[in-house]
Amino acid sequence: MLAVVLGLAVVAAVLVGAVAIGPGEVLGALVGRTTGPEATIIRELRLPRVLAAALVGAALAVAGSLLQGLLRNPLADPFVTGTSAGAALAAVSALALGVPTLAMPAAAFAGALAAVWIVWRLAQVGGAPTVVTVLLAGVVLTAFSGALVTLLLTASDRLALNLRATLGWLQGGVSVIDQGELALAAVLIAIGLGAALALAPRLDAFAFGEETAATLGLDVGRVTAAALAVTALLSGAAVALAGLIGFVGLVVPHALRGIVGASHRRLVVASIPAGAATMVLADLGARTLLAPAELPTGVITGLVGAPFFLLLLVRSRRMSA
């Protein structure tokens, strides 16, 4: 069912846009029979953007499912824990230094990996890391990274020349500047999804705490490091394509958990099409709600995800009380 929803979302996103193009012309452009401006719009603008949105949604949803399983908390996702902010800082720094666009996914992955390591080390200060300390460390890192990004945008002449495009990307705008960048991000995300599927059964052992997982024979430290590395890989590739997209990694896994159950293997598998469809539809809304003007996709995900996050927070507080 989720695969069907994803297919319908992709079809709708390719058919609908600021420029009205008939279904026959769209099909002709996809199979190579049509030439001209319409074919250029479909093959070089809409289709790469739809594919990028699907990749970003799948990556963020799976990363969120890993973090929620690892931390045993539905409030965890790459945006909240600072992973996306670290990736964005590294990507903006690469742009300021003149690094080729093709290297953006690699730079964002390095930044996300550094952010994961910093947050985990900060959370371990004074004892074993808890969900609260991880989230607080993520908030601190996000604020610090945001300040550094603003400094780079102000001080760098290279970024000032493309300030509007850079700000739109940072606000969560799906953008495919180079087909090679899309291909590299797709490879990184495919590797991350495969690794997530391999790690998923081990995360089931974390349901009753790290001590129980260790009693069951699991190498807790190694599994934790692997899960955080995979999260960084997925988040970095997603940030390279779409900037800072919030709440997709939080909402999708939490919504699916009540449907597919607690098994992380089923959750990861279901998160791939569900996250992809969610992001494709959010990007479609961003392109069409105020056409011909275009909203950042992060605005759509924020308007939907923020109330959901507050609902989760209130519910968790009531359960604790």
Q: What is the pLDDT along the chain (321 residues), one digit of tens a residue?
A: 999 999 999 999 998 877 778 788 888 878 777 777 878 888 888 889 999 999 999 999 999 999 888 888 777 788 878 888 899 999 889 888 888 877 788 888 899 989 988 888 887 776 666 667 777 888 888 889 989 998 998 888 888 777 777 777 787 778 776 778 888 889 999 999 999 999 998 888 887 777 777 888 888 888 888 888 899 999 999 998 888 888 898 889 988 988 898 889 999 999 999 999 999 999 999 888 887 778 888 888 888 888 877 887 777 667 766
How many domains would you assign to the chain? 1
- b/e 128-144 (16+ beta carbons within 10 angstroms → b): ebebebbbebbeebbee
Instruction: Work out the angle at residue 200's Cα, subtended by the Cα atoms of residues 61 and 76, and round it to the nearest 5 degrees.
Output: 45
| Cα 291 off chain centre by | 25
The CATH number linked to 314 is 1.10.3470.10
Q: What spatial distance separates the first Cα and last Cα of the chain, rounded to whole Å?
A: 38
Residue 239 lies in domain: 2-320
pTM, whole model, 2 decimals?
Answer: 0.87
Q: Which two tokens stand for residue 222?
A: 């190694």
